[in-house]
Structure 1
Amino acid sequence: MAKRRLLPLTALRAFEAFARHGKMSLAADELCVTHGAVSRQVRSLERLCGARLTQGPRNALKLTEAGERLARSLGSTFDEIERSFLELRADADRELHISCVGTLAMKWLIPRLSGFNSRHPDLNIRVTEAYRPVDFAREPFDAAIRLTDAGPVEGMTATPLLDNYHGPVVAPALLGAGAEIAELSRLPRLHTRSHPQAWAEWAEHAGMPLGEAREHREFEHIFYTLEAALAGLGVGIIPWIYVAGDVAAGRLVAPFGFVRTPNRFQLMLPESPKKGIAAFRDWLVEEAAKAPPPPLAEPLIA
Structure 2
Amino acid sequence: MTVRTERRPLPSLTALRAFEVFARRGQMTLAADELCVTHGAVSRQIRSLEATLGLDLTEGPRHRLRLTEAGARLAAALSGAFGQVEAAIADLRADTHVELRLSCVGTLAIRWLIPRLPAFHARHPTVRVKVTESYAPVDFARDRFDAAIRVNETAPIVGAEAAAFLENFHGPVVAPALLGDGPTGLEGLTRLTTGSRQTAWAEWEAHSGITLPEPPDSQEFEHIFYTLEAAAAGLGVGLTPWVYVAADVAAGRLAAPLGFAPTPSRFWFLTPAGPQRPAVVAFRAWLIEEAAKVPPPQAVRRSG
| TM-score normalised by length of structure 2 | 0.69
Which residue in the other structure is 2:284 paired with? 281
Are residues 2 and 206 of structure 1, via their aligned partners in 2, closer, same or farther at CA, if it must alter by over 3 Å?
A: same
2:154 counterpart SS class = coil
2:132 counterpart SS class = strand
Which residue in the other structure is 2:29 paired with? none
Structure 2 residue 113 is the aligned partner of structure 1 residue 109: yes
- Provide, for residues 6-28 of structure 1, a one-character-per-residue CA deviation record: whole Å limited to 9, x for no partner: 9xxxxxxxxxxxxxxxxxxxxxx
Are residues 130 and 88 of structure 1, via their aligned partners in 2, closer, same or farther at CA, if it must alter by over 3 Å?
A: farther
Answer whether contact 2:196 2:223 (CA < 8 A) is retained. yes
Answer whether contact 2:96 2:126 (CA < 8 A) is retained. no
For structure 1, which segment, 226-235 or 184-193, has the greater mean C-alpha deviation from structure 2 after superposition?
184-193
CA distance in 1, matches of 2:160, 2:89: 29
Which residue in the other structure is 1:236 paired with? 238
Are residues 230 and 91 of structure 1, via their aligned partners in 2, closer, same or farther at CA, if it must alter by over 3 Å?
A: farther
Which residue in the other structure is 1:295 paired with? 298
Answer whether contact 1:179 1:255 (CA < 8 A) is retained. no
What displacement does 1:207 show? 1.1
Answer whether contact 1:171 1:253 (CA < 8 A) is retained. yes
For structure 1, which segment, 245-254 or 144-153, has the greater mean C-alpha deviation from structure 2 after superposition?
144-153
Number of residue-to-residue matches in the alignment: 228
What pairs up with 1:1-302 in 2 under 5 angstroms? 1-3=71-73, 84=88, 87=91, 90=94, 94-151=98-155, 153-176=157-180, 179-181=182-184, 183-272=185-274, 273-301=276-304
CA distance in 1, matches of 2:96, 2:149: 20
CA distance in 1, matches of 2:132, 2:211: 38
Partner AA of 1:122 in structure 2: T
Answer whether contact 2:260 2:299 (CA < 8 A) is retained. yes
Answer whether contact 1:257 1:297 (CA < 8 A) is retained. yes
2:126 counterpart SS class = coil
1:191 counterpart SS class = strand
What displacement does 1:134 show? 1.0
> Larger C-alpha radius of gyration, 1 or 2?
1
What displacement does 1:143 show? 0.6
Answer whether contact 1:165 1:240 (CA < 8 A) is retained. yes
What displacement does 1:129 show? 0.6
- Provide, for residues 130-183 of structure 1, a one-character-per-residue CA deviation record: whole Å limited to 9, x for no partner: 00111111112111111111136322111111101100100011005x7513x4
CA distance in 2, matches of 1:133, 1:92: 32
Answer whether contact 1:188 1:233 (CA < 8 A) is retained. yes
CA distance in 2, matches of 1:99, 1:186: 39
Answer whether contact 2:195 2:220 (CA < 8 A) is retained. yes
Answer whether contact 2:112 2:244 (CA < 8 A) is retained. yes
What displacement does 1:101 show? 0.7
Partner AA of 1:294 in structure 2: P
Answer whether contact 2:174 2:238 (CA < 8 A) is retained. yes
What displacement does 1:276 show? 1.1
2:73 counterpart SS class = coil
Q: Over aligned residues, Cα RMSD in angstroms? A: 2.7
What displacement does 1:104 show? 0.5
What displacement does 1:269 show? 0.5
What displacement does 1:2 show? 4.1
Answer whether contact 2:97 2:126 (CA < 8 A) is retained. no
- Structure 1 gaps, min length 5: 7-76
Are residues 118 and 93 of structure 1, via their aligned partners in 2, closer, same or farther at CA, if it must alter by over 3 Å?
A: closer
Partner AA of 2:107 in structure 1: T
CA distance in 2, matches of 1:169, 1:296: 14
